[in-house]
Structure 1
Amino acid sequence: MLLRPPGVYRADGDTTLLIDVLRAGGYAAGRRVLDLGTGTGALALAAARAGAASVTAVDLSLRSVAAAWFNAQVSRTPVTVRWGDLFGPVRGERFDLLLANPPYVPAEAVAPPRHRITRCWDAGPDGRLLLDRICAGAADMLTDDGVALIVHSTVCDEDTTVAALQATGMKSQVVARTTIPFGPVMRARAGLLAARGLVQPDQRDEEIVVVEARHRA
């Protein structure tokens, strides 16, 4: 059980899928790990428990930073938690594994709200506000044999993610996928998403994918 104060993202099916991939692939063992947008710290804790050499967790939300730090302390799991925007707090460092479960739900507004819970999932008109930034910056944060694992809905188009990572010189591919029912946010926005052509009018589930990227040999 993880502490989740109001305003902090609740770990859900996307987090579970990424943790399953992390464990099954042995990605974390002996590696320096960066968890972007850590929320409650669920991914960071999973990486540490999977044998990571070190884990650094970053979030822009002070509540999330506090929650992740508290959860790491209570579980006696070694995780360094930093406050800031994506790569900013770790600029100049390199990691062997980058984990990211960013906000990816398409929203009406271009910019996410600063202080409301919707900041945990709002990601601009196409859901790629944070995804595109992560794809553009991931290569520079990884060691030569480093790997990035990014999870998001196919509503945001996994082909765009794969292509964006390849544009930075990395090899990328979808390594896992699962279908889950729309949650409350997606159900509330089904009409908006259908009007934008992002889902079918009668669609009430979504596919979640994990995209892997690594430097070309």
Structure 2
Amino acid sequence: MTVETHCPTPQSPAWVPPGVYEPQQDTWLLARALRREQIAPGADVLDLGTGTGALALEAARLGARVTAVDISWRAVLAARVNALLSRQNISVRRGDLTSAVRGRSFDLVVSNPPYVPSPGRAAPRGAARAWDAGRDGRMLLDRICDAATTLLRPEGVLLVVHSALSGVEHTLARLADAGLSATVTDRAMVPYGRVLLSRLGWLRQRGLTADDMVEELVVIRAVRT
């Protein structure tokens, strides 16, 4: 297992419009894991929750045929513009996770979904959809785990990044229940960002944070055997 405190930054998207998640440490941690996969030329890759398209573009540079999905029209536009600016060919679709690729399967699925625990009970709106994920941070994580078996071809790989605040063991168990072999392949410790700092009191009340205010990010790799 690789343990890092700093994540090297690959090529950043050229355009990050307001309301679209700006690539940061979790993005680059997952990009590094993606590069380790040694993607075969023409492999079919799906990027769920593409945002600016950073991970989709990384996969395209590695020679993959890439489909990118996001529920936000702004994110879809950003990913398409960044693909043009980067001269990479990716298919960008709007949809709620797997709804945009129903009936298709892939060699590799990569996802940096919203995973921040949120005190609000209503569904997030606007820019908050890029990070807020319900009171346990698993609003999309559980759906991705449950869908992985049908999304992946035999021996296909899922790479997903999220915070330890969202329950690493829960993700591993849920993927195992879905019939996948899952392990943590990367970890990184990063200072709390503005979203976590803004809800520090609530996190402390729930026993989810310590005084060091450092968040652990993990990359989980799951294989459909």
**TM bucket, shorter chain:** over 0.9
Within-5 A mapping of 1:144-159: 144-159=154-169
Report SS of the residue matched to 2:63: coil
TM-score by length of 1: 0.95
**Which residue of structure 1 lines up, in the alignment, with residue 57 of structure 2?**
45
Letter in 2 for 1:43: L
**Which residue of structure 1 lines up, in the alignment, with residue 36 of structure 2?**
24
**Which residue of structure 2 lines up, in the alignment, with residue 84 of structure 1?**
95
TM-score by length of 2: 0.91
Pick the aligned partner of 2:24 from 6, 9, 12. Answer: 12
Letter in 2 for 1:16: W
Rounded to whole Å, the distance in 1 between the matches of 2:41 and 2:191 is 32
Pick the aligned partner of 2:105 from 75, 85, 94. Answer: 94
Matched, 1:194 2:176: no
**Which residue of structure 1 lines up, in the alignment, with residue 145 of structure 2?**
135
Q: CA deviation at 1:161?
A: 0.4
Q: CA deviation at 1:194?
A: 1.4
Q: CA deviation at 1:26?
A: 1.7
Report SS of the residue matched to 1:214: strand
Task: Specify whether residues 111 and 91 from structure 1 end up closer, same or farther in structure 2 by C-alpha distance, changes over 3 A only.
Answer: farther
Spell out, residue by residue over 1:106-139, the C-alpha distance to the aligned partner (whole angstroms, 9 max, x if none): 111234323x211110000010001011001111
Task: Specify whether residues 28 and 99 from structure 1 end up closer, same or farther in structure 2 by C-alpha distance, changes over 3 A only.
Answer: farther
Within-5 A mapping of 1:86-125: 86-114=97-125, 116-125=126-135
Spell out, residue by residue over 1:124-173, the C-alpha distance to the aligned partner (whole angstroms, 9 max, x if none): 00100010110011111110121000000001111100100000111001
Across the aligned residues of Structure 1 and Structure 2, the Cα RMSD in angstroms comes to: 1.2
Rounded to whole Å, the distance in 2 between the matches of 1:192 and 1:203 is 16
Rounded to whole Å, the distance in 1 between the matches of 2:55 and 2:123 is 23
- Percent of aligned positions that are identical: 51
Q: Is the 8 A contact 1:57 1:82 kept in 2?
A: yes
Within-5 A mapping of 1:172-187: 172-187=182-197
Rounded to whole Å, the distance in 2 between the matches of 1:58 and 1:175 is 24
Question: Between Structure 1 and Structure 2, how many residues are aligned?
Answer: 213
**Which residue of structure 1 lines up, in the alignment, with residue 9 of structure 2?**
none
Pick the aligned partner of 1:68 from 66, 79, 82. Answer: 79
Q: Is the 8 A contact 1:179 1:207 kept in 2?
A: yes
Task: Specify whether residues 173 and 207 from structure 1 end up closer, same or farther in structure 2 by C-alpha distance, changes over 3 A only.
Answer: same
Rounded to whole Å, the distance in 2 between the matches of 1:169 and 1:27 is 23
